[in-house]
A and B are shown apart, each in its own frame.
Chain A
C-alpha cells in the first residue's frame, strides 16, 4: 500500500514537471526573435505569401493555449513537427541519433560503476594509507580536468600517437562500436568516476563506524558476506542516487565529448540545431532531456524500493 502511494505521488509529480517543462519549451518558439514565422522560415526568402502560408500551416493565428494544446497533442503522439534544416520529421532525426548517445551513456555508466565503486571501497578500507591518499588525489585531479580537454588528450595519446583506437566515428558492427566508443566513454566517465569514488568512500567510511558491521564481525560471519551483504548493500543507497543522476546527465549532456570525437549523437544534434535556429528540434530535445531526467529519477525511486525495506514499508521517504 505504501509502495503504491509512493509511486502514485512520484508519478503525479513527474507529470506536473513534464507539463511545466513542455509549456516553457513551447514558449520558446512563440518568444523567439522575429516571431515564429521568421524562425520557421529559416533563411529562406520571406514574402508576404510564404509568411501567410506558414501562419496557416502552423495555425499561428490561434490563441496561445490552443496552439500549445495542439502541439502537446502531437508531441505526445511522437510528432514534433519537421526539422527546419533537414525537412525531415524531428522524431526520425532524433531516433537516428539516439543509439549512439544511448550506447555511449550506458558504456560510460558501466565504466563509472565498475571502477568507481571498488576504488571508493578500497580507499575507505585503507583510510589514511598511501593507497587512500593516492586514490583521493587522483579523483581530485580527474574531477578538475574538463571532459573536452581530456577528450583531446585521449585522442592524441591513444588514437593518434599509439593508434590503438579510431579517431573518428561510431563504428558499424557491435564490436566495432565498442572499440569506437571506448575513448569517448572514458572521457565521459572520468570525472563521474571521481565523483562516485568520493561518494562511495564517504558512504563506506560512514558505515565502518556502524555498530551493525562490528556486530557482524563479532558473530564471525565470513568476510565475503560482511562486504556484500552489509557494507556494499548499505553503501549502495547513496551511490544509487548519484548513479542515476549521472546516467541522466550522460544521456542529455555528452555534447562536448560527442563533438570532440566526431560522434553523431544527440549532443552533436543539439549543438547543430541551436546553430541553425532549428527550433522544433531544440524543443524536442529539451523535452526529451526533461523526460529522461524524470524517468531516471522514477527508476531510482523504484530501485530504492527494491533495496531498502524501510522505504517499502513507508517508514521513511527517500
Chain B
C-alpha cells in the first residue's frame, strides 16, 4: 500500500529548483533519492515534510495515505509531523538544541505520560537506537559524539512512532565506521517497525546498499528510477552511468578516473530539454528539442533518456601498478611526533617518511590526529615533542634549532573546504599572484600558467571565488598551493566536500600534477577508495598512533590491524 505519493512536485524560489518530481514510498519500503549538490533532493524532502525554508513555494501534490498535505494549514501539518512523518537531518552537531539534554529531546517528543513512565520510556527509546547506557539521557549534546547525537536525534524523530521517516543525508557528517553503524541501525529500525523510509543521499553506494528502490535526481528532476540492484548493475541514464564511473574503487587503482565534464545546470534553464544533454557523451539532436519523458524500460525501471545507454568501456580495469616511487631520497621525515590538547592526546608519537615525489596517504577517522599531524608539518601547530625534518632541514615548530624561514616554499597545503579556504574578497588572479610572490623570483609562475596547470581558462583570473563551482574553487586552491613550486603538497581531505563527479576530476588533477611536476603528496583522508587511487603507501592512524603502514595495495588488500579491517568493512560495496 502506498504511504507517500508525490506527484509533479515543483519547488520555486527566485528560480525554479525542483521541477516535476514523482515519487512514492510504500509501508516497509526504503526508497533512495540520490543526487549531487544542487539537484534539489533536500528541498524535495523538506517540501514533503512541509518545512520549506521561507521564500520557497511548492506546487503539485504530496499525499500521505491519500491525504493531501501540500497547501494544508500549519495546524494540520503540525499534527502530521512527528506522529506520521518524521524528518532526520544531516548534521548531528546542529540538529539538537545545545541547551537541552538528550533525554529531554526524546521526552518532549513523546506523547503525554506520567513522569516515571516517561523516564522509563526515554530509556527504552534510547535502547532502541542502540544506546544502552542510561546516563546518556542526562547528557547535553556537546558531551556526545557525532554518532551518539545522530542516534539520539533518531530516537527523538521516532518518538511518536511515525509511519514515514525522511532521512536527509543522515550519515554524511559522520566517520566511515560510524556511518556504517548508523546505516545499519536505520535499516534495523525500519525493518522492525515496518516503516517507510525516504533516504536522501549523495552517495550511490549507500543508496544501493540500503534501498529497495532508487530514484536519481539531476537539475531538479528525476532522470532514472528503479530497483537498487538494477540501477547499479545496468544504469539506464547516461548521468547515472557517469556517476557510477566516477566512483573510486577501494579494491583497484583505476588508470583513469572518469569525471562527468561540465557542471550541473539550473533547473530553470533546461525545463524544455534533456537536462543532461550538454554534458552527455551520447547526446543526439533530439535531446535538445523536447524534455524526454520518464519512460518505462522494464517493469519498475524508468529513465528520462531517449536512448539506450551505451555501455562504457569499463570492463575489469587493469589494476594499475602503482607508480614506482622515484628514488629521490627522503623529503619529509617525522619522528616520534607528540601533541596534546588539554589532556587529550592528538598525536602519541607518530613517525612517518615521505620520499621525494612519493604519494603517502594518511587514513583515519576524526580524532585520529591526522589533521594535527598536517598542522604540525605546516608549522601551524607546535608539537610537544618529536622532530620534523623537511629536505634535510629541521623545521620542528618551536624547536630551538628550527629553521622555518623558507619552509613555506617546501611544503604547501590544500584544505578541505574551498569555499572557506579562499579569500572571498580577492579575485582568483589576485589570490594566485599573491601566493606566487611568496616564492623565489626566478622561475615564478604567472597566473595564467597556474590556471593552465589546473585546467582552468585564463579568463578565470578576473572572477571571485563566489562565481566558481566547488570543484573549480578546489582547483584554484590547488593552483595557489603550487604557486611556490613546493616539493611537498599536503592535502587535508581535499575532496570530502565535493560531489562524486567533481571528486574524480580533482583526484585526476592531483595525480597528473604529481606525475608531471614530481610533487610529493601527503594525502589525508577518511575515504579508503580515495586513498587507493592516489597514494603509493598508506599510513593508518588510530587515536594518535600509527597502527599500520605499508604499500597501499598491501594495506587495503591484506590488512593486519583490527582497526584497518573495521574501516574496510564499513565501506559500502562498490556497485
Contact = CB atoms under 8 A, between A and B. Distances in A.
B159 A219 contact: yes
Contacts of A127: 54
Interface string A204-223: 00001111101111111111
B94 A220 contact: no
B100 A229 contact: yes
Contacts of A218: 49, 51, 81-82, 86-87, 89, 157
A220 B97 contact: no
Contacts of A225: 108
Contacts of A210: 94
A211 B108 CA distance: 17
A3 to B, nearest CB: 14
Interface string A304-317: 00011110010100
A113 to B, nearest CB: 19
Contacts of B94: 210-212
Contacts of B100: 229
B287 interface: no
A310 B83 contact: no
B51 A214 contact: yes
B97 A234 contact: yes
Interface residues of A, number: 27
B108 A229 contact: yes
B95 interface: yes
Interface residues of B, number: 33
Contacts of B307: none
Contacts of B153: 215
Contact of B95 (A211, A220, A308, A313): A211
A313 B86 contact: no
Which among B80, B96, B108 has the greatest number of chain A C-beta atoms within 10 A?
B108
Given A127-B54, A229-B108, A220 B78 contact: yes
Nearest to A310: B142
Given A220-B79, A220-B83, A308 B51 contact: no
B99 A234 contact: yes
A70 interface: no
A315 to B, nearest CB: 5
A214 B142 CA distance: 19
Given A220-B160, A309-B140, A215 B95 contact: yes
Contacts of A223: 78
Given A211-B89, A310-B140, A313-B143, A220 B82 contact: yes
Which among A214, A215, A216 has the greatest number of chain B C-beta atoms within 10 A?
A215
A168 interface: no
B135 to A, nearest CB: 14
B87 A221 contact: no
B49 to A, nearest CB: 6
Contacts of A233: 99
12 contacts: A209-B53, A210-B94, A212-B94, A217-B51, A218-B81, A218-B87, A220-B81, A225-B108, A229-B97, A308-B98, A310-B140, A310-B142
Give 7 closest A-B pairs by Cβ, nearest first: A220-B82, A218-B87, A220-B81, A211-B94, A219-B82, A309-B140, A211-B95
Interface of A: 127, 208-212, 214-223, 225, 229-230, 233-234, 307-310, 313, 315
